Amino acid sequence: MVSPPTRYLVFFQYFGTKYSGVMETSANQSGIGVQNCLEKAAQNLKPVVPIKFHISSRTDSGVHALCNAAHLDIQRAPGKPAFQERELIRGLNHHLKSEPIRILSAYRVTSDFHARFSALSRTYIYRLLLGCTRWSEVPVFERDLCWAPPGGGLEFWELKFRSKSFLYRQVRRMVGALVAVGQGKLTPHQIKELLELRDARALPPHAMAPPAGLFLKCVEYNEADLHTTRAPGE
């Protein structure tokens, strides 16, 4: 008799520079998503049914995550007990070692838990490096990890955004608009007019911040949802 699947919530991080985004891509698409790598690693756990990662927060090409989340169901062969959380973390990370992706933690959750819809909030950070007149002046260990618009003294700024959910590219648009105002390319009155239009396409292309400076910092859940009573004998 096949045992029922066990649902887990996993928290994971990644450098997004080499990926087309966090979501999976098909074979006929260019680039690969973080989800493709996660699911490839998970198949090495020899599940009865292929494992699908249900991602909490979508990030685009070049965007990083200090901590994203996903839930997955694992159904093991008859006689095989459910994975302990530490065992699952070790197994996934072993098969992800060639990728800049790491599982941070795992929790057993109830079968009706959903990584996307159960989330209470998401927090993003956007990193700006001010004072560089040329891209070559950006420290090599910061390239692809910040945006360096010209102007100001050499210093890092971090802008933090927290909400239950965000619109497509919302954080990058907000940061880009703020920088455009600071550079005199847009006025506060023009920002007000753009907001009143309620049309993201009206934002000038130069007011879109690049993806490299954006990090998903964390996804928050109700603490009670992260503790599930185990079945007898586990």
Catalytic hit among 60, 73, 144, 225? 60
Q: What is the pTM of this model?
A: 0.91
- From the CA atom positions of the chain, what is the Rg in Å? 21
Dihedral class, residue 187 (left if φ above 0, else alpha if ψ from -120 to 50, else beta) = beta
pLDDT of 79 reads 87
All structural domains of the chain, each given as residue ranges with its CATH number in brackets, are 6-118 (3.30.70.580), 121-217 (3.30.70.660)
SS3 of 28-93: CCCCCCHHHHHHHHHHCCCCCCCCCCEECCCCECCCEEEEEEEEEEECCCCCCCCCCHHHHHHHHH
Q: Which of 98-112, 141-155, 190-204 has the highest mean pLDDT?
A: 98-112
73 is catalytic: no
Question: Chain-wide mean pLDDT for the chain?
Answer: 92
Answer yes or no: is pLDDT of 229 > 70: no
Answer yes or no: is pLDDT of 116 > 70: yes
